[in-house]
Amino acid sequence: MTCPACSSNDTSAFYHGGLVPVHSCLLVADEQAAKHFPRGNLELALCHGCGFIFNQRFDPSLSAYSADYEETQAFSPLFREFISDLASRWIARYDLNGKTVVELGCGKGEFLVEMIRAGAGRGVGVDPGVHPERIPPDVEDRITWVPGFFPEDYPQLDADAIICRHTLEHIAPVADWMRTVRSAIGTRIDTVILFELPDVRRVLQEGAFWDVYYEHCSYFSAGSLARLFRRTGFEIVDIWPAYDDQYLIIEAKPAPSPEPAARPLAIEDDIDAIAATANTFAIKHTEMIESWREQLHRVVDVGGSGVIWGSGSKGVAFLAALGDESGLIRAAVDINPFKHRKYMAGTGHQIIAPKELVGIQPDLVIAMNPAYLDEIERDLDALGVQTKLEAV
């Protein structure tokens, strides 16, 4: 198959994930509907030309992204601190005080709010899932919401900064889309481009199957991301890992000429390493699932119970990977009140509030993101729930 990032035909599949739920974050109000949620094929391929990884069976027509999408992590204090620090850093580094910022794929808008609070003058948020009623009153008159997509509903990018966080990994024709971004900026080459997305290197190294799911059709390392940016008309200012190496942040500027010659940064030299870890991903993945199954059996077989903490995409992927044995998990806990009493796509597990653990008294809590372990431990202590706590 042709690489969507560099058009090379030198690509090969390395992981077959089978049929998985096509959405992980859509709220499903009914258990049966959750269990019969539409599925799509997941088959990861690696491009040997540029290091890009993609689901070569991805079908965009199965996607139904809308206002029912509940992806926000903003109920977590740790996450809020992260986005607030990042907003302050970008405002200072790129002198965005009083300037206009546009965020493509702004989700519920929490980052745009942070940018305004950190000093940006005006914000435009483009996303079909925006909920303007959730925006705090102190910034609402400085933010314009476009409930739709770029470029269909918002074709021109006339701003001091273009922000795009956790969105590019949902787009299949990545090079075409980046070229559209570049041409929408036009001659305004002082615009700064700020992207954040998951780092596939860590996913592959750790066999992190919970980070591979249908909505993520495109997977980048620092190298493949930088190469895509250069190929589509951007110059890289900086690229760095963030949030316990889970994310990549790239800061770029439009290049005056289409394919600028530039010396790659040291962090980009990763094609061989990515190829090597891709080859071991399937084995690591199987070992990891086996070890969780065994651990859950040790708890459940003696009358105990286990729950997962985190009902987002990682949770859906984790339960799907357990397959027939997902019943070993009693429920999914989430701190986002908008998700309570809803069901997980695929396996139909109910999403419950942390306080319901008082009645369940679980013997094992599996955190879907190690970054939140301290936070979860504090919540469990506050509730008086004594349990073993582990993270994927």
Q: Rule CB under 5 A: choose which of 47, 174, 357, 368 binds Zn ion.
A: 47
Q: Which alpha helices (H) appear in the chain, and where do they start and end?
A: 31-35, 77-93, 110-118, 174-185, 200-206, 222-231, 271-300, 313-322, 357-360, 373-383
Tokens standing for residue 56:
């070569």
Determine if 3 is a binding residue for Zn ion (CB under 5 A). Answer: yes
Here the tokens at position 386 are: 């004594």
Interface with Zn ion by CB under 5 A: which range of 50-58, 70-78, 192-200, 284-292?
50-58
Q: How far is CA 27 from the centre of its chain?
A: 17
Residue 135 binding Zn ion, by CB under 5 A: no
> Which of 14, 37, 52, 82 touches Zn ion by CB under 5 A?
52
Q: Name the residue type at position 148.
A: G
Q: How far apart are CA 20 and CA 204, in angstroms?
A: 19
Q: Does 8 bind Zn ion (CB under 5 A)?
A: yes
One residue of 20, 26, 50, 116 binding Zn ion per CB under 5 A: 50
Strand partners, 97: none
E-strand spans in the chain?
11-21, 39-47, 53-55, 100-104, 122-126, 143-146, 161-165, 192-198, 218-219, 234-242, 247-254, 306-309, 329-333, 351-352, 364-367, 388-391
5 binds Zn ion (CB under 5 A): yes
182 versus 227: smaller Cβ distance to Zn ion = 227
- Residue 357 is a binding residue for Zn ion (CB under 5 A): no
Shortest distance, CB of residue 270 to Zn ion, whole angstroms? 13
Stretch that binds Zn ion, among 40-48, 183-191, 317-325, 359-367 (CB under 5 A): 40-48
Answer whether 49's CB lies under 8 Å from 10's CB: yes
6 near Zn ion, rule: CB under 5 A: yes
Query: CB 180 → Zn ion: shortest distance, Å?
Result: 18
Subset of residues 72 to 131 that bind Zn ion, contact rule: CB under 5 A: none
Specify the stretch interacting with Zn ion by CB under 5 A; choose among 39-47, 72-80, 173-181, 340-348. Answer: 39-47
Least spacing, CB of residue 281 vs Zn ion, in Å: 18
Binding site for Zn ion (CB under 5 A): 3, 5-6, 8, 47, 49-50, 52
